[in-house]
Amino acid sequence: MCFAQFHLKRMLAFSTISHMELLFVGFGLFTPAGMAGLLVYLAGHSFVKAALFLTTGILLHRFRTVEELELKGQCPVSPVTGIVFSVAGSALAGMPPFTTFFGSAWLDEAARSSGYGWITVVTSLAAIATAGAVLRVAGRIFLGLGPG
């Protein structure tokens, strides 16, 4: 559902729902490593999502809309907003220098050591889909890429 949305707030809400599965995995494992991964991921995800909602609010205030297709290519006047949105989108994807990467890695390791190696595939697919949606928005709004 996240990838099908063009309304930024709804897309971010569906992204949050998608990423909550990682937290449930950590809680369900109920191992020290799983709980540590859960807390690290939760902290990182909270800051990333706050940055994404903040930049969405800036777009709403400046352009009076948060529809991706209406904002296509109109935002090069806000390069800092675009950079923050893109960096936060990369963090949402779980790229290495960000806290979400380390939390996800701890959760994956806890799942593998508990005999649930398949969880890594599920969590990776969810992260790829939601991060792809956020980075699609960044490319369309701030760089003018894609169909309008």
pLDDT tens track for 138-148: 899 988 888 76
Rounded Cα distance between 4 and 41, Å, is 25
Residue 148 pLDDT: 65
82 domain-assigned: yes
Q: How far apart are CA 136 and CA 105, in angstroms?
A: 25
| Average pLDDT of the segment spanning 62-72 | 91
Average pLDDT over residues 73-87: 85
pTM as predicted? 0.90
Closest to 137 (Cα-Cα) out of 64, 74, 48, 46: 74
Question: In this structure, is residue 3 part of a structural domain?
Answer: no
Q: How far apart are CA 115 and CA 34, in angstroms?
A: 13
- The DSSP H or E segment spanning 101 is helix 99-113
Residue 83 falls inside a structural domain: yes
Q: Which domain holds residue 67?
A: 8-143
In a domain, 38, yes or no: yes
Does the residue 2 lie in any domain? Answer: no
Examine residue 130 and state whether it is found in any structural domain, yes or no.
yes
Tens digits of residue pLDDT in 27-43: 899 999 999 999 999 99
Counted domains in the chain: 1
